[in-house]
Amino acid sequence: MHGPTILASKTHITLDLLGIVAFSSGIHVRLALTATGRAAERAHHETRSLSDPTDPDTQWSYLSVLLQLGPVAGEADPYLPRSGSPLKWGGVPAYRTEPNYWLGTCTRPHDIMISAGWPEIGLGPTCVTALLEASPSAVTSD
């Protein structure tokens, strides 16, 4: 298990690594993105097709994540995104999502690289690498 760690932090946007857990069948990565103010308003606007499928505007975006574990790499699609965030925190527009990602691959020791960004709301690309090491019950990161 590895986490939590702040991956990116700027005015009104924070991207956190909540955890990395390795299983015999793959790696589970949990992230959390929190936005307030204008960034939150943009995030709600960009993801409205997820919350309102009848919206005729097909332009939308979401947090983009690339995972790489050894030779296996690819764009990650979230499952259980948990983006039912409050519209306001203390009167300020707010947005929070906690997407989960699964990389089904072997868990022998490797570096795992996580690259993420959402330029449409003001989060430029950020990248972190962690070494996953074998242990009796799980894989951990330094």
All structural domains of the chain with their residue ranges = 5-53+60-141
Residue 4: band (very low, low, confident or very high) from pLDDT cuts 50, 70, 90? confident
Six-digit token string for 92: 């300020």
For domain 5-53+60-141, is the CATH number 1.10.287? no
CA 117 – CA 54 distance, rounded (Å): 27
Residues 93-138 pLDDT 10s: 899 988 888 887 765 667 889 999 999 999 999 998 887 765 444 4
Which residues are bridge partners to 32 per DSSP? 16
Residues 5-14 pLDDT 10s: 899 999 999 9
